[in-house]
Chain A
Amino acid sequence: MTSPLLEVRDLVVEFPRRRGGPLRALDGVSLEIGAGEILGVVGESGAGKSLTGAAVIGLLEPPGRIAAGEVRLAGERIDALPPAVLRRIRGRRIGAIFQDPLTSLNPLYTVGRQLVETIRAHLPLDAAQARDRAIALLRETGIPAPEARIDHYPHQFSGGMRQRVVIALALAAEPQLIIADEPTTALDVSVQAQVIGLLQRLSRQHGAAVLLITHDMGVIAEACDRVAVMYAGRVVEVGPVAAVIHAPSHPYTAGLMGAIPPMDGERERLQQIDGQMPRLDAIPSGCAFHPRCPRAFGRCRQERPELMEAGATQASCWLVQEAPSA
């Protein structure tokens, strides 16, 4: 793509341990997102999706740290910046939305105060201008009667409304990139669709790139342009949503798609992938998926595959080279 907005190259995140070497939670993750594009990151719990988002925005919980690789925003490296500089980028150029809207908002302050505080932290506006902007943001995210509701407290909003407030807060300083970590998981299904629609609309209108992290394939299919599949701290497949869902190249992705009950037709049993994702301290040699892979062969056990072109997508699987996609 032409000059991606976000570039993550071979990112490695480690957690030091008391005994033995450090634990590698992310092992060479690479991603790209262009302006106005929505990239989904999908995978099981523990695959490293949230960590990737945290690493990009610079909010890794210590003692976790970025051990190698780089993160570039609009061409500039941001992973090695001093904390004070990184702090100014957060909110202004990168916004974040977390899973639970109830706990994301400080219960003791009105929504307006939290909005105005964020706006004035990044933009040179006075109190009245900031308040106007806050009301506009609330209106944009679909909150009715924003002039009144701006002085309400978080507990006075319903779940879906709260998530809209959270989105408004994330957008307050017009960031170029939004990291949404499980934004719909804590919401009712009916509300989920609305929030997804909101994210899509705002992304188009503001031209922001969105990193949408979720374990819900339905959300991916609905909202994303491209999707990256993660497994055991690595990206195993990435490509346009339609291609990944309907013509996956990696056996893990195929397994994930096979586990989704089809709306049309019947199937006797849902396919399941035997075994479990390996623990961080027991990652297999070579390809991390090989113990569970129905098509693994010799090379898979020895050498770790990198992302390779595989038809419409890229997949890190030796089958792409040795056995042309069947």
Chain B
Amino acid sequence: MLAFILRRLAQAVAVMLTVAFIAFLLFQHVGDPITNLLGQDATSEQRAQLRAELGLDAPAPVQFVHFVGNALRGEFGLSLRQGRKVSTLIAERLPATLELALTAALLALALGIPMGVLAALKRGTALSQLLMTVSLLGVSLPTFLIGILLILLFSVWLNWLPSFGRGEVVALGSWWSTGWLSVDGWKHLVLPAVTLAVFQLALILRLVRAEMLEVLRSDYIRFARARGLSDRAVHFGHALRNTLVPVITITGLQLGSLIAFAIITETVFQWPGMGLLFIQAVSFADVPVMAAYLCLVALIFVAINLVVDLLYFAVDPRLRVERGAAGT
């Protein structure tokens, strides 16, 4: 098992280096790296000095090492658009995005799994048809449209919930701020979290249903029934447990993409997170921000992948227990 962890870590590092390389390429070749680091208002003296300091005359591999070193310290230069340090900008926005993504993830799981199980157990009934139709809508409606519809209904027509911003946030420690601890924070969080959760919920629902139907047809379920186990034991003790194993991995990976989908949600709701920052960077061709965002998101993804792999180990005994003495 140790070998497995080491191998996965090595893979993770390889992926991160690749991403760093792409970010490096962006930095060097898209726009002017000096401008990327100093901003557009630097004087020619500052530029010359930086050029010498950075050793931009040095061969590319050396520059890459420099870049990685800087990246590890979170140093990505200045934003072209705002002139402030990229690392500061991202740090300001990170809690907002993470909170939004986490809330949406919990919502999607808490609703998606039970609905999927229901759809599988009650296959062929009106309820299951309804659930499947809802899930189809969920994957066919683009996220931004869901956001707009929710705003239309709850903000414009009913005037129950606000439609932009984070509302009142409570500071935790020197860096983090949370909207979970205030009613106003929650009111602002509801619509964006639901918007973000819908697509994931629909996917989880379909996945759980498909997987459960497959499991319910398997031999061990048949044997369990033949042994006279109750429906509850068969469905929830055996079928559900076996269904959740592959669902965990796929869902874990999906949750990573929530961070990406947050870009859309943040735009619709003007949520002050990293996604909004990224979009502004893309339309402005603000390379340092783009590069930094890329590296950070890659890190989050790789971390999630690693955790999911470890979870698999914990959940499926076939992977972890050593082969016992086999006899006939």
Contacts and interface: CB of A to CB of B under 8 A. Distances in A.
Interface string A243-270: 0000000000000000000000000000
Interface stretch (B44-52, B107-115, B166-174, B214-222): B214-222
A173 B228 contact: yes
Contact of A153 (B229, B237, B241, B321): B321
Given A98-B223, A108-B317, A117-B237, A91 B229 contact: yes
Interface string B209-252: 00000000011101111111111010001100110010000000
B32 interface: no
A311 interface: no
Interface in A99-133: 100, 103-110, 117-118, 121-122
Nearest to B238: A106
B229 A121 contact: yes
B228 A92 contact: yes
B328 interface: yes
Contact of B327 (A100, A104, A144, A169): A144
Contacts of A152: 321, 324
Contact of B328 (A98, A117, A161): A161
Nearest to B320: A153
B321 A121 contact: no
Contacts of A105: 220, 223
B228 A106 contact: no
Given A172-B227, A173-B228, A59 B242 contact: no
Contacts of A156: 321, 323-324, 326
A45 B28 CA distance: 69
Interface stretch (A9-17, A82-90, A218-226): A82-90
Contact of A96 (B220, B223, B230): B223
Contact of A157 (B218, B230, B326): B326
Interface residues of A, number: 42
Interface string A158-171: 10110000100110
A242 to B, nearest CB: 31
Interface in B292-328: 315-318, 321, 323-324, 326-328
A63 B321 CA distance: 40
A161 B328 CA distance: 5
A191 interface: yes
B242 to A, nearest CB: 6
A201 interface: no
Given A160-B328, A161-B326, A117 B228 contact: no
Interface in A161-206: 161, 166, 169-170, 172-173, 190-191, 194
A158 to B, nearest CB: 4
Contacts of B226: 57, 59, 90-91, 95-96, 98, 170
B260 to A, nearest CB: 32
Contacts of B238: 106, 109
A51 to B, nearest CB: 14
Contacts of B229: 91, 117-118, 121
Contacts of A299: none
A121 B231 CA distance: 12
Contacts of B228: 87-92, 118, 121-122, 173
A59 B225 CA distance: 8
A279 interface: no
A155 B318 contact: yes
A121 B223 contact: no
B227 A158 contact: no
A104 B233 contact: no
A108 B227 contact: no
Nearest to B239: A106
B328 A90 contact: no
Given A100-B219, A117-B233, A107 B318 contact: yes
A259 to B, nearest CB: 30
B326 A103 contact: no
Given A108-B316, A117-B233, A95 B227 contact: yes
Given A90-B226, A90-B227, A170-B227, A158 B220 contact: no
A306 to B, nearest CB: 31
A89 B227 CA distance: 9
B327 A103 contact: no
A156 B227 CA distance: 22
Leading 8 A-B pairs by shortest Cβ distance: A91-B228, A156-B324, A103-B219, A90-B228, A96-B226, A91-B227, A158-B326, A104-B223
19 contacts: A59-B226, A92-B228, A95-B227, A96-B227, A103-B219, A107-B316, A108-B315, A108-B316, A110-B317, A118-B227, A121-B233, A153-B317, A155-B318, A156-B321, A156-B323, A156-B326, A157-B324, A158-B326, A161-B327
Given A87-B230, A91-B227, A156-B324, 9 more contacts: A59-B226, A103-B220, A104-B219, A104-B223, A106-B224, A108-B245, A121-B229, A158-B326, A190-B328
